[in-house]
Structure 1
Amino acid sequence: MDLPALDLAQPTPAPQGVNTQGLADFLRRFFAPLFLVIVSVVALFFLFTREITRFVQFIILAIAIGVIFYVPNIIEVTAKAIAVALGISVG
């Protein structure tokens, strides 16, 4: 006699981890336009108030942040480097 309750007692396979295959692409597509709008508004504010030093500092910071979002694989490489530094095995 086969009972359906016995099927529930079978162990389920453990999850292998979080699937982050498209996470970096999603973040780029989501935040890149928002980032460009914010950079434009703040840069215009600095230009209209004639704060050239802050404008230059802001543009340098914006370029550095832009490199993080637009250079391919930099997020993955940085994440793997941090994981290795923390002693987490990377597959």
Structure 2
Amino acid sequence: MNFGENIQEWFSVQIGALFFVVIGAMAIFFLAKREFSRFVGFAVFALIVGVFVFTPESVKSLGGKLWATVFGA
């Protein structure tokens, strides 16, 4: 039995939910103040952070495929 994996999965789910709540609150804040350029910049930043934090396996495989395409297998 590996207890660490269950704890890691639980924290990942909880932090993911908190991450999306914070992103939603910031988006509403920027849109309510009509700061559209800051909203777009924050949305792009949140998208990049979300991908790197929550799906690092896909980033790793994409990097490997890109490396193989550019420099050969």
Range class of TM-score, shorter chain:
0.5 to 0.7
Displacement over 6 Å in runs of 4+: none
CA distance in 2, matches of 1:63, 1:35: 11
- The question of 1:31 aligning with 2:10 is answered no
Question: TM-score of the superposition, structure 2-length normalised?
Answer: 0.61
Where in structure 1 are there 5+ consecutive unaligned residues? 1-18, 78-91
Match of 2:54 in 1: 70
CA offset digits 1:5-52 (Å, max 9, x no partner): xxxxxxxxxxxxxx8x62653442121000000000000000010001
Instruction: Provide the alpha-carbon RMSD of the alignment.
Output: 2.6
Where in structure 2 are there 5+ consecutive unaligned residues? 61-73
Larger relative helix fraction:
2
Return the index of the structure with the highest Cα Rg: 1
Q: CA deviation at 1:59?
A: 0.1
Q: CA deviation at 1:72?
A: 5.2
Give the aligned length.
57
Q: Identity over the aligned pairs, expressed in percent? A: 32
Equivalent residue runs for 1:46-65 within 5 Å: 46-65=30-49
